[in-house]
Structure 1
Amino acid sequence: MSEQKKIARRSFFAGLGLVAAAGVAAKLAPANVAEAIAEQPAEPEGNSYRLSEHVKKYYRTTTI
Structure 2
Amino acid sequence: MLYMIAAFVFLVLGLVFLLKPDLVWHITEEWKSYSSGDPSNLYLLSVRIGGVFLLIIAVAAAIIPFLPD
Tell me the TM-score normalised to structure 1 length. 0.40
Larger-Rg structure: 1
Tell me the TM-score normalised to structure 2 length. 0.37
